[in-house]
Amino acid sequence: MKNKVKIFFFLLLISFCLNAQKKRIVYEAFLNDKEDAKLHSSLIQDLEKKLKITSFNLLIDTDKSFFEIKPDSIIEEENVESILMMANMMGNACFRTKNAPFSLIEKPKIYLKDSTRTVWTITKESKYIGNFLCYKATANLEKFNYGEFHYSYPVIAWFAKELGFSFGPNGFGGLPGLILELEQVFFTFKMVKVENCLKEFPKLNDKPILNISEYYDTLGY
């Protein structure tokens, strides 16, 4: 009987440790350089209203991540596309595994293979985001399309070494810590909450996987 009890608690401890590796990070998003966009003030104000009721989930464990618009965000269907466009998201959700050279973006009928190259430069700059000490890294994002990499735009990431997950929002990663803030062209994602998570990762459906050039060809570009 004592051995059975020991085995039960041993298995319980293993289960707890495995679940503790899973985390959910909630991000808010806000616009960059609003002062430079005064000529489009009505559009900017409308977009800001949408962002205030929109947040984003990043589910992670040691070897994979899943990024999405938070399901309980109060956002109307017709507004989703503009949010995705400004956030440089090509779909509602993004899957990534550790050390993978690409992420899979979920579209209604396919998965889009999004190959990017980010050669990070880690600086000495640091700041706190919440209770986490974060370090600044910069890179020029390059997207792979039609057989070669094309320069896209600069990105700035702030990552926390104490959160040793090499992931971040919108399929970004490759740093020695979790990205808690990511500045892109129009949007900045910023962490508002980190918590342990027992939720199972969404599974990939049986849909075709296309690279970006194949996807554009289907659209007639």
What is the domain count for the chain?
Answer: 1
pLDDT band at 162 (very low <50, low <70, confident <90, very high): very high
Question: How does pLDDT run across 82-136, given as a tens digit for each residue?
Answer: 677 666 677 778 898 887 778 888 888 888 888 777 889 999 999 999 999 999 9
DSSP assignment of 161-205 equals: TTS---B-GGG-B-SSSEEEEEE-SSEEEEEEEEEE--PPPPPPP
Q: What is the CATH number of the domain that holds 191?
A: 2.50.20
Residue 59 clears pLDDT 80, i.e. is over it: yes
Q: Which residues of 121-138 are buried (b: 16+ CB within 10 A; e: fewer)?
A: eeeeeeeebeebebbbbb
Domain range enclosing 146 = 2-219
The predicted-structure confidence for 179-211, as pLDDT tens digits, reads as follows 999 998 878 999 999 999 887 888 888 888 888
pLDDT at 146: 64
Q: In the numeric block, which tokens belong to residue 25?
A: 């990070």
Question: Residue 100, class by beta-carbon neighbours within 10 Å (0-12 exposed, 13-18 middle, 19+ buried)?
Answer: middle
- Whether pTM exceeds 0.85: no
3-state helix, strand, coil in the chain (%, to 5): 25, 45, 30
Cα–Cα dist 173/9, whole Å: 36
Q: Is the pLDDT of residue 220 over 90?
A: no
pLDDT of the residue at 164: 87
Average pLDDT, the chain: 78
* pLDDT (0 to 100) of residue 10: 36
* CA distance to 64, 65, 135, 166, per residue, from 200 (Å): 12, 11, 30, 19
